[in-house]
């Protein structure tokens, strides 16, 4: 029998097979209610995962942002001076979070531009994870040194992503690591899934067709960084179309999905 022979003449079966062969967008499991997004700088999450965040909050999930620095080195043509920048960036971050429906923004206060994946940073992130007790942690990819031919991944991004993954496993779930956190009343916590943004290659996509406009609005809240932000919609739409093409939808954000524990 030829392996190319059709085994079914049923149109519905054929349609199912085609669907299975094509990449499709993912959705978070219904039981995954609490999400913690960890990033180095105030606008990182708005650039990368805010379309997914807006979707998750619209689904009634609880999302917290943890920002390792407050972006004091984020000086550019739109920034009048670095003095006094921290309160501006903190205020912009809170406004962006409000637009996205994010419950809380935690600032760890590390110095922008010189972050390293130290034990101290891992302890700080472990403390946040044990306090928030998220089902899902969202962070960057510490292994990516550059993207394409135009962007060298910021060392703070790599450092924070590395410390975040180490905080998820083994630190958050292991009683013997950071016993000082037990003294603070913070019991071990097991994260169920990690969604890594900017991973090469990605293997999971969130459809952000309904939330791309909210994503753009949240990035425009960072006025000290984007000015009037006329370019924001075009840039973010381009990225969303590129990632959407991989998932068979119009607009998407791409991740690598790690399932550490199914909760059973
Ligand atoms: Zn950044």
Q: How far is the CA of 131 from the centre of ligand 1 (A)?
A: 24
Domain for residue 98, yes or no? yes
**214: in domain:** yes
Average confidence score pLDDT of the chain? 90
Residue 74 within a domain: yes
pLDDT at 70 over 60: yes
The CATH number of whichever domain residue 39 belongs to comes to 3.40.50.10320
**16 Cα to the center of ligand 1, angstroms:** 41
3: pLDDT strictly greater than 50: no
Query: Does 221 fall in a domain?
Result: yes
pLDDT tens by residue, 208-246: 999 999 999 999 999 999 999 999 999 999 999 999 999
Residue 264 domain flag: no
CA-CA-CA-CA torsion sign (141, 145, 150, 156): positive
Interval between CA 158 and ligand 1 midpoint (Å) = 10
**What's the per-residue H, E or C state across the chain?**
CCCCCCCCCCHHHHHHHHHHHCCCCECCCCCCCEEEEEECCCCHHHHHCHHHHHHHHHCCCEEEEEEEECCCCCCCCCCCCCCCHHHHHHHHHHHHHHHHCCCEEEEEEECCCCCCCCHHHHHHHHHHHHHHCCCEEEECCCCCCEECCCEECCHHHHHHHHHHHHHHHHHCCCCCCCHHHHHCCCCCCCCCEEEEECCCCCCEEEECCCCHHHHHHHHHCCHHHHCCCCCHHHHHHHHHHHHHHHHCCCCEEEEEEEECCCCC
How many Cβ atoms from other residues are within 10 Å of residue 62's Cβ? 17
Q: Judge whether 176 lies within some domain.
A: yes
Determine which of 12-26, 110-124, 156-170, 241-255 has the lowest per-residue pLDDT on average. Answer: 12-26
Cα 84 to ligand 1 centroid, rounded to whole Å: 19
Q: How far is the CA of 31 from the centre of ligand 1 (A)?
A: 30
> What separation in Å is there between the alpha carbon of 157 and the centre of ligand 1?
6
CA of 35 to the centre of ligand 1 (A): 20
CA 185 to centroid of ligand 1, rounded, Å:
32
Residue 79 — very low, low, confident or very high, per pLDDT cuts 50/70/90? Answer: low
Number of domains in the chain: 1
Q: Is the pLDDT of residue 257 over 60?
A: yes
- Cα distance between residue 78 and residue 83, in whole Å: 14
Range of the domain at 174: 3-23+30-259
């Amino acid at each position: 029998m030829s392996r190319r022979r059709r085994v079914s003449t049923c149109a519905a079966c054929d349609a199912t097979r085609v669907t299975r062969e094509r990449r499709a967008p993912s959705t978070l499991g219904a039981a995954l209610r609490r999400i913690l997004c960890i990033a180095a700088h105030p606008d990182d999450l708005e650039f990368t995962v805010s379309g997914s965040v807006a979707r998750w909050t619209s689904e009634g999930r609880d999302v917290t942002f943890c920002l390792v620095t407050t972006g004091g080195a984020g000086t550019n043509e739109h920034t009048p001076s670095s003095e006094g920048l921290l309160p501006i960036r903190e205020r912009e971050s809170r406004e962006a979070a409000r637009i996205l429906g994010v419950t809380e923004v935690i600032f760890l206060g590390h110095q922008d531009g010189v972050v390293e994946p130290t034990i101290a940073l891992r302890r700080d992130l472990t403390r946040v994870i044990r306090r928030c007790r998220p089902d899902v942690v969202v962070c960057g990819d510490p292994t990516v040194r550059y993207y394409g031919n135009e962007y060298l991944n910021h060392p703070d991004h790599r450092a924070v992503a590395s410390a975040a993954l180490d905080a998820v496993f083994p630190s958050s779930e292991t009683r013997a690591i950071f016993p000082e956190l037990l003294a603070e009343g913070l019991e071990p916590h097991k994260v169920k899934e990690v969604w890594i943004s900017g991973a090469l290659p990605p293997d999971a996509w969130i459809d952000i067709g309904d939330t791309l406009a909210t994503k753009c609005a949240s990035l425009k809240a960072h006025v000290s960084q984007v000015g009037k932000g006329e370019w924001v919609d075009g840039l973010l739409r381009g990225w969303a179309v590129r990632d959407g093409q991989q998932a068979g939808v119009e607009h998407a954000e791409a991740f690598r999905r790690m399932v550490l524990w199914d909760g059973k």
